[in-house]
Amino acid sequence: MTTPNTAAEILVEGHVQGVGYRDYARRRAAGLALRGWVMNLRDGRVRLRAEGPRAQIEELVRVLEKGPPLSRVAHVDVRWLAPTGRFADFDIRFAEFES
């Protein structure tokens, strides 16, 4: 039996830009077979959209709370959403826009 998919919007606050955080998040999400994207926001936060099994998204959140070595994560906020199913893999986005 397959695990039903869900989605989450994840906002990460702290010293998370300019420290390889997006690539770290992309590699970890891809390693968990999640789909979606990660981007820097103008206000200094990092935003992710992840789709896949809830257990894998929860594992991603635990990893994001640690972050790469040069980061200092202050807070991670997760909002659960319905999955769209429109992502083929996990990408880095380079412009802030709604999706």
Confidence (pTM): 0.91
Known catalytic membership, residue 40: yes
Instruction: Assign 4 a pLDDT band (cuts: 50, 70, 90).
Output: low
Count of C-beta atoms within a 10 Å radius of residue 64: 24
Question: Does position 9 have pLDDT exceeding 50, yes or no?
Answer: yes
Residue 60 in this model has a pLDDT that exceeds 70:
yes
Output the pLDDT for position 55.
Answer: 97
Exactly one of 26, 40, 47, 49 is catalytic; which is it?
Answer: 40
- Complete DSSP assignment for 47-94: EEEEEEEHHHHHHHHHHHHH-STT-EEEEEEEEEE------SSEEE--
Over residues 59-68, the mean pLDDT reads 98
Based on the residue annotation, tell me whether 5 is a catalytic residue of this protein: no
pLDDT digits (tens, 9 = 90+) for 20-48: 999 999 999 999 999 999 999 999 999 99
Residue 17 CA to residue 25 CA, distance in Å, equals 12
Q: Are 34 and 57 in contact (CB under 8 A)?
A: yes
**Residue range 70-87: mean pLDDT, rounded:** 97
* Residue of 96 and 31 predicted with greater confidence: 31
Pairing verdict, β 90-92 and 35-40: parallel
Domains of the chain: 26-92 (3.30.70.100)
pLDDT at residue number 1 = 42
